[in-house]
Copies of this chain bind each other. A is one copy, B any other.
């Protein structure tokens, strides 16, 4: 057997986005969330009613959105896929299908999630190409090309709520709402866009299950997304659909307050600890997220973001990822998100141990900064 080669990890943000902070919630709900899969059940491509998507699962998806108040599902079709990654590809194919002689231009506002560009570049399809930052097309007079704008709200990496920056008859949007849950953000109003993508990874923490869904207004786009699913893997795994259904059933217990409260408090607590630690630092700064009215909690609430978008403020800390790595903190370089190397994305989604380690390392950096400032020993300590 050949030596196992190392998989190129730089391609995707696997470790950073793994929401293992939710593990204790599922330990507490071990009995109700367990699934028994009989060997002879669900062998077929289809469910017994002939469909390839569980109707029961669809109902539960609509219900969880109704309770969270984060998306309108009336008049929407639902496409399920192997995680939101699968559905992002389906959406780009579906929206670029050719009524134009030139490829669709795919854009996103900087800083943006690296996979959008990586995936579009990887597929090398004649019907679309990645054009970079959305603002570059702002003043274009080109109305012949289809434009596809990824709108990530809350954004990955900086966790700001966002709107599309482009509009016009040739523009189509893909709203990636992976983080638009009470866990990570105020919910000012239910999202009501043409094509919205969600994933169970960030809702329940089950990233390894690979299950996501899209809410789609237009029937033709819905049909083309189904075509992508069937061309890429025939149907979405029924075992995956079964597990997702069971998880959503537990999510919905007690009107979903249990999981939303657990997740929100955990994330808010982490953010407050990190913010407080960095509040006196002149060397490092964090993104500012304004408090906002949340329809789920029916009050103005502060931030509880999934990521810290940290900036190195000093001239000499030009490569912020290197600065942090020397303190044993591994984040995602800002350059991956199409922005400068002064930024690093730090995941706040991991297990308590990982977060506490991060917090202690940050505390150490800040106390070093403090000592250096106060004792004029900066060079000797950094050196």
Contacts and interface: CB of A to CB of B under 8 A. Distances in A.
Interface of A: 1-2, 5, 7-8, 11-12, 14-15, 18-20, 22-24, 26-27, 29-30, 32-40, 42-46, 52, 74-77, 81-83, 85-86, 89, 93, 115, 118-119, 122-127, 205-211, 219, 222-223, 226-228, 230-240, 243, 246-247, 250
A75 B235 contact: no
Question: What is the copy number of this chain in the assembly?
Answer: 2
Given A33-B38, A85-B233, A45 B208 contact: yes
**Nearest 5 pairs of A and B residues by beta carbon:** A33-B39, A26-B40, A208-B238, A210-B237, A82-B233
Given A2-B75, A2-B77, A85-B232, 18 more contacts: A5-B223, A14-B234, A20-B44, A33-B38, A37-B37, A39-B250, A43-B206, A43-B209, A81-B233, A82-B233, A83-B233, A85-B231, A86-B232, A119-B232, A123-B125, A208-B237, A211-B237, A237-B237
B227 A208 contact: no
A39 B14 contact: no
B52 A7 contact: yes
A46 B208 contact: yes
A301 B32 CA distance: 50
A220 to B, nearest CB: 9
Contacts of A208: 42-46, 235, 237-239
Max chain B Cβ within 10 angstroms of own Cβ: one of A14, A127, A247 = A14
A124 B127 contact: yes
B233 A210 contact: yes
A101 to B, nearest CB: 14
B89 A232 contact: yes
A239 B209 contact: yes
A122 B227 contact: yes
A209 B382 CA distance: 54
A2 B219 contact: yes
Given A123-B123, A210-B236, A227 B8 contact: yes
A219 B250 CA distance: 43
Contacts of A205: 43
